[in-house]
């Protein structure tokens, strides 16, 4: 079940990449729909992941893509089986 939510998060992240000439409003709306379906199908997902997804949805509503991407990336870290990403130090 959580792998489907992880897949939806990856799909949403791919949809809201900023690329030249992209219709960002349409992409944000598609990402919101993708996330809404995934959250509906994963009611037992970790509360922290769902909270991050909800916050990302609010940012997507206002076209704040970078903020949404940050929150969606963080949400993935709360899913079972995901290892926390730690930046390597040089």
pLDDT digit string, tens, across residues 60-74: 999 899 999 999 999
* Contact criterion met (CB below 8 Å) for 67 and 41: no
pLDDT tens-digit series, residues 10-60:
999 999 987 666 688 888 999 999 999 999 999 899 999 999 999 999 999
Residue 88, classed as helix, strand or coil, is: coil
Contact assessment for residue 52 and residue 72, using Cβ atoms and an 8 Å cutoff:
yes
User: Alpha-carbon distance 56 to 34, whole Å?
Assistant: 12
pTM: 0.83
pLDDT at 25: 86
The pLDDT of residue 4 is above 50: yes
d(CA 67, CA 57): 10
Inter-CA distances, 90 with 1, 87, Å: 37, 9
Q: What is the pLDDT of residue 23?
A: 83
Per-residue tokens: 25: 């409003």
């Amino acid at each position: 079940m959580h792998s489907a939510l992880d897949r939806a998060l990856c799909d949403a992240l791919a949809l809201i990449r900023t690329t030249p000439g992209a219709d960002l409003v349409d992409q944000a709306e598609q990402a919101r729909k993708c996330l809404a379906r995934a959250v509906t199908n994963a009611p037992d997902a970790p509360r922290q992941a769902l909270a991050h997804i909800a916050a990302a949805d609010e940012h997507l509503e206002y076209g704040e893509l970078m903020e949404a991407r940050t929150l969606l990336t963080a949400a993935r870290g709360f899913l079972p089986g995901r290892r926390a990403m730690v930046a390597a130090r040089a």
